Amino acid sequence: MNSLAITLVSWTAVTAGSLSTIAQFRRVTATGIEGVSSATWLLFTFIGAFWMAYGSLSAHSLAVVMGSLLIWPLQLAIVFRLAPWRHPRGSLQAVAMFLATCVAPGLVGGWSWCVYGCGLAMTLLRGPQLLELLRTRDASGVSAASWFLGVGCAVLWIVYYSQVQLWAPLIATAASGTGSLLIASLTVWRHRQATEELVRLEVFAQMS
């Protein structure tokens, strides 16, 4: 793949990531925060800051920096809507996970260890959202489009990282992309359940 194609892939990934976050922001603005995990989105903001640092200080990639910088304000806006300070236990767990998986490995093994740890965190941070979807039938605040766009974004970054031979972020992105696919699929299932329930209620109301 030539340099122009690699550049196009990276900036397409940036665009897909931005659209993914915009879709979730619009969803919580329009329908509320039901089913959205504050711990997951708090970790998103921490990891976004990490990728900006990694892109500028280690990978020296403007695309990697912009991939997080462009969406960081929207991630912060979503976090403030979710009010993580009202859920101190989950928020403290999110902070502890970030320190343990992203910061501590970097202090020991440098950027590569930091990226591998970040990949673990990016995968684990999807856990609270998965649990929220399994626990709560009302997932109206979760955008399936956002998570599917996230999967597409992950695929594009994997292609980019493979071409520039950045193996640590490739593995990290592949792991988190798999988690995003699970969340997207579960969200579709919950939305379908809600639609079917609404139809049943309407039919029951008409028969009464």
70 pLDDT higher than 70: yes
**Number of domains composing the chain:** 1
Token representation of residue 163 = 């071409």
pLDDT tens profile 140-174: 788 888 899 889 999 999 999 999 888 888 988 99
Q: What average pLDDT does range 34-54 have in this prediction? A: 88
Q: pTM score, two decimals?
A: 0.74
Domain that holds residue 121: 3-207
Q: Can you tell me the distance from the alpha carbon of 72 to that of 163, in angstroms, rounded to the nearest whole number?
A: 26
Q: What average pLDDT does range 54-73 have in this prediction? A: 92
99 pLDDT higher than 70: yes
Burial grade of 204 (CB within 10 A; 0-12, 13-18, 19 or more):
exposed
pLDDT tens profile 114-149: 988 888 888 887 887 888 888 887 787 888 888 998
Mean pLDDT of the chain: 88
* DSSP alpha helix (H) spans, 32-166: 38-57, 62-69, 72-82, 88-98, 104-124, 126-135, 144-164
What band does 27 get if pLDDT is binned at 50, 70 and 90?
A: confident
pLDDT tens profile 180-202: 999 999 999 988 888 877 777 77
